[in-house]
Structure 1
């Protein structure tokens, strides 16, 4: 209880718009926690994890104070964003599941209505366990309709706890048709067919862009890290050669050529490569999600995979290069 009060105090300082966003995210992901508590918990965990990461880097890697502050800030931001991304993935998974069963649910409700059952009873009888989260929302809408609420108003409550644009547009189309005097069973059947056609088109589009997905995945997780490892190793070789040789200036023909080793820090190149790989894989993952599903948020799961593969390629290639050209460095 004390911890919850502490988190709630921290969360109260957050802006209202951000609180409303977190509240909607928690509702859509079926996480039973107050927005203020989640915000306070996320901030606390971010600092508890982020600052020790910076301290470990400062002690063992002997980095500068400025770099320590930068790593700590980045670690705090990564943890804070990751907690929100986890909720977003839960909500996305729930929405994707519901979108797949929308046509079956609509046709089941339509079949019950055509069998002579009233719309409110048809809704209640159509709430099947295999519909998952949609079952709960259909039951709520049916109970409200049985209690005397207009059927169109009851239906409009279904998408509020499920973050699916497809479901929202579907319910909106049905309610507008009802208000215009349309027959509910016919509306449900036609809407179910439209949703199925849309899903079929999305699958065809996804199949057609497979090559783009493969190219982006390879470029972000293999190509870029490999180039960064080669370039950092080349700079390290030049610095090493410049340090052990006494070459000052050479004359090629009539032109003097002066050899000077790079003055840039190897640590700077290393951390720049890590940061560049992180940025490349982050945006690469978002692009993959956009191509696959039309939503940037769906690419969050790709970011983790791309980052893991990219860093693995970077460090493994550095080890291989060091082994192959060890005599030169």
Structure 2
């Protein structure tokens, strides 16, 4: 209990009072009801361990190498610790923000996926003679998942005296979804204009379905570009790095044999190999890092081509990174066996 209070107190100390309402509303979008102050405090204490190791094995040796007096060294140690710790905490905050933002995006996409079925059920209830509010609340079903939960929250607001239009408008403004916002805004405007709400809902559903079909056609049309990028990442780039490494190894072997033979015979050759200063191990490390970078940005390109959004393709990033690395390793094994007989 005391540990929980300590971590919660530390967590609240890092979240200013003016930020807390915005943080709570932001976390609600991700389905997180309570602000996890204890988690924030726990992450702060856990961050001390890696920062301490970095300071002991790296920072302190650097401070001692400056050869200053003990007071200056103490001040430098405090400043260095504070800067590194703040940077580490900032990196953790960025990771948490990225995770929550991705969770909000996935929740929004899930609501958009079931929105046509939900509105279709609302339309059926209206055709059965129900008023709009009752038709909306009666359409809340478990199969609609997050959308049902959000509509239920809007229903509770209406029960406490808020107007149904205001409750639905607050729901659509909660998420960054043009589809949700336009659909419910059209329904609300249709109700205000005195038109048939059923006809408006049916047209909205038809429009959403047509939009989804168009997006599917666009994704199918751009499939050739996705295949082209995937071939470059999974075959072309690993193959080129593998051949370059083998060429470097063979060239170093030939250069070493020619340089070791001595005499005037080396001047007969029309090629001057010179001193090859590139280390094959360094080149291999460069190749692996370059493949990771290429895979990262290629996954982003594939996501934009297929879905029009970077967030929707985060799952492709580790897949392409691992696949390209495995292909590179496999090509290296095969190429090493093939080129092994070139230098004896």
Question: For the structure 1 residues 281 and 83, does the alpha-carbon distance in structure 2 shift closer, same or farther, using more than 3 Å as the test?
Answer: farther
**2:35: which partner in 1?**
34
Indicate conservation of the 8 Å contact 2:300/2:314, yes or no: yes
Question: For the structure 1 residues 145 and 159, does the alpha-carbon distance in structure 2 shift closer, same or farther, using more than 3 Å as the test?
Answer: same
301-310 vs 138-147, which deviates more?
A: 138-147
Indicate conservation of the 8 Å contact 2:122/2:135, yes or no: yes
Question: For the structure 1 residues 19 and 312, does the alpha-carbon distance in structure 2 shift closer, same or farther, using more than 3 Å as the test?
Answer: farther
Indicate conservation of the 8 Å contact 1:220/1:280, yes or no: yes
- CA displacement 1:276-307 (0-9 Å, x = unmatched): 11111111111111111111111110111101
Q: Indicate whether 1:158 and 2:171 are aligned.
A: yes
Indicate conservation of the 8 Å contact 1:51/1:76, yes or no: no
Distance in 2 separating the partners of 1:229 and 1:23? 51
**1:243: which partner in 2?**
256
Report SS of the residue matched to 1:326: helix
Indicate conservation of the 8 Å contact 2:219/2:305, yes or no: yes
5-14 vs 274-283, which deviates more?
A: 5-14
Question: For the structure 1 residues 123 and 300, does the alpha-carbon distance in structure 2 shift closer, same or farther, using more than 3 Å as the test?
Answer: same
Indicate conservation of the 8 Å contact 1:209/1:291, yes or no: yes
Question: For the structure 1 residues 18 and 141, does the alpha-carbon distance in structure 2 shift closer, same or farther, using more than 3 Å as the test?
Answer: closer
Question: For the structure 1 residues 108 and 278, does the alpha-carbon distance in structure 2 shift closer, same or farther, using more than 3 Å as the test?
Answer: same
* Residues 15-54 of structure 1 mapped to structure 2, 5 A cutoff: 26-31=27-32, 34=35
101-110 vs 25-34, which deviates more?
A: 25-34
Distance in 2 separating the partners of 1:276 and 1:17? 43
Shift of 1:172: 3.2
168-177 vs 260-269, which deviates more?
A: 168-177
* Residues 130-141 of structure 1 mapped to structure 2, 5 A cutoff: 130-141=143-154
Shift of 1:88: 4.6
Shift of 1:198: 0.5
Larger Rg: 2
Distance in 2 separating the partners of 1:317 and 1:17? 56
239-248 vs 14-23, which deviates more?
A: 14-23
Shift of 1:181: 4.8
Report SS of the residue matched to 1:136: helix
Distance in 2 separating the partners of 1:297 and 1:183? 38
Shift of 1:13: 4.5
Q: Indicate whether 1:234 and 2:247 are aligned.
A: yes
- CA displacement 1:155-182 (0-9 Å, x = unmatched): 1233456554422332233334444554
Distance in 2 separating the partners of 1:51 and 1:262? 41
**2:303: which partner in 1?**
289
**1:300: which partner in 2?**
314
**2:64: which partner in 1?**
none
Question: For the structure 1 residues 24 and 217, does the alpha-carbon distance in structure 2 shift closer, same or farther, using more than 3 Å as the test?
Answer: farther
Unmatched 5+ residue regions in structure 2? 55-87
Distance in 2 separating the partners of 1:34 and 1:233? 55
TM-score of the aligned structures, taking structure 1 as reference length: 0.76
Question: For the structure 1 residues 125 and 297, does the alpha-carbon distance in structure 2 shift closer, same or farther, using more than 3 Å as the test?
Answer: same
Number of aligned residue pairs: give it. Answer: 305
Shift of 1:266: 2.6
1:142 to 152, 155, 175: 155
Distance in 2 separating the partners of 1:17 and 1:265? 55
Distance in 2 separating the partners of 1:268 and 1:17? 50
Q: Indicate whether 1:327 and 2:344 are aligned.
A: no
Shift of 1:16: 10
Unmatched 5+ residue regions in structure 1? 54-74
Shift of 1:12: 5.5
Indicate conservation of the 8 Å contact 2:7/2:39, yes or no: no
138-147 vs 11-20, which deviates more?
A: 11-20
TM-score of the aligned structures, taking structure 2 as reference length: 0.73
Indicate conservation of the 8 Å contact 1:174/1:187, yes or no: yes
